[in-house]
Amino acid sequence: MALFRRETQRRVNTLPLVAPSVGVLLIWMIIPLVMTIWFSLQNYNLIVPTIRGFAGLDNYAYLLDDPALWTAMINTLVLVGSVLAITVVFGTLFAVLLNQDFWGVGAARLFIIAPFFVMPTVSALIWKNMLMHPVNGLFAWITRSLGLPPVDWFADVPMLSVIIIVAWQWIPFATLILLTALQSLDEEQKEAARMDGAGPLSMFYFIILPHLGRSITVVIMIETIFLLTIFAEIFVTTSGGPGLATTNLAFFIYIRALLEFDVGGASAGGVIAIILANIVAIFLVRSVARNLDA
């Protein structure tokens, strides 16, 4: 891809064209970041205004001592990991399915990608009220009809419930990306494999899956960025509970900041979230940069 090929052309001062975008993004990034770090080193609680001043690393020490932080971190990893696994597996299967030629495949594709466009608060409420409600929900009716005891989804398996909802929202994204990748697969290569007597399964393992490798990396990286800060789904369904069962890092910081007014503690949590996200970001930017050069 000759995305960055340079050509000889007349010199144009591009600074006035690029500077505004770069400038506002720089401000948007630097100021809150510096403030977050600064607050994280302060005693700063909005309901205890008398105690102010430099706290050093106290907020971090206090936070790292708090078992809730570790629970939130583990919950974040469980949520991200499970959703990634589910979406990649189902995304691959659905993409292979939609890559077949069948009646109405175009319309079927539209239906399968639809959940991605539904705002998270709406999808969380549909699942919470209409499907997973322990008495009036559709799932309760199904289990009742089968003579099984009803499942109180958000009380019995809260994390699983959130995972199901989030996975439902992100499967379409994985499907779309992987489908696009599949469509770029060389027909001749498939034909050659078929001539050599490859069945559908060996075709999948030896031709399709390797071809999808890079796209699966892209799916994982991009989903991770969004999944690390899942908020609305938890806000609407469980509010992080019962107990801390579905409190992820984003929700943990939200509670600290806007419900407990502990600016210092919340900022320290924010810094930890930023560090976590950056570990992921390094890999993502690298893989995108590689794609640019290819």
Partner 1 sequence: MPTSQRHKLMMSLLGWVVAFLVFFPILWMFLTSFKTELDAVSGTPNIFFEPTLENYAAVQERADYFRFAMNSIIISFGSTILALVFAIPAAYAMAFFPSKRTRGTLLWMLSTKMLPPVGVLVPVYLIFRDLQLLDSHLGLVIVFALMNLPIIVWMLFTFFKEVPKDILEAGRMDGASPRQELRFILIPLSVPGIASTGLLSVILAWNEAFWSLNLTTVAAAPLTAFIASFSSPEGLFWAKLSAASTMAIAPILIFGWLSQKQLVRGLTFGAVK
Contact status: 162 vs partner 1 (CB under 8 A) = no
Q: Are 41 and 56 in contact (CB under 8 A)?
A: yes
> Can you tell me which of 141, 151, 160, 203 binds partner 1, judged by CB under 8 A?
141
Q: Are 169 and 117 in contact (CB under 8 A)?
A: no
Q: Which of residues 263-292 bind partner 1 (CB under 8 A)?
A: 263, 266-267, 270-271, 273-274, 276-278, 280-281, 284-285, 287-289, 291-292
Q: Which of residues 202-241 bind partner 1 (CB under 8 A)?
A: 214-215, 218, 222, 225, 228-229, 231-232, 235-237
Contact status: 171 vs partner 1 (CB under 8 A) = yes
Q: Which of residues 37-76 bind partner 1 (CB under 8 A)?
A: 39
Return d(Cα 27, Cα 29) in angstroms, integer: 5
Number of residues lying near partner 1 (CB under 8 A) = 111
Window 107-136: contact mask with partner 1 (x via CB under 8 A): xxxxxxxxxxxxxxxxxxxxxxxxx-x-xx
Contact status: 258 vs partner 1 (CB under 8 A) = yes
Among the listed residues 278, 229, 262, the one whose alpha carbon sits nearest the alpha carbon of residue 58: 262
Cβ neighbours of residue 120 under 8 Å, at least 6 residues apart? 169, 232, 233, 236
> Can you tell me which of 98, 162, 207, 208 binds partner 1, judged by CB under 8 A?
98
Cβ neighbours of residue 204 under 8 Å, at least 6 residues apart? 96
Q: Which span (80-88, 153-161, 168-176, 203-211) binds partner 1, by CB under 8 A? A: 168-176
Return d(Cα 240, Cα 253) in angstroms, integer: 11
* Residue 202, CA distances (Å) to 179, 208, 210, 215, 222 in order: 19, 9, 12, 20, 29
Window 6-25: contact mask with partner 1 (x via CB under 8 A): xx-xx-x-x-xxx-xxx-xx
Least distance in angstroms from the C-beta of 118 to partner 1: 5
The partner residues of 45 in beta bridges, in order of sequence, read 262
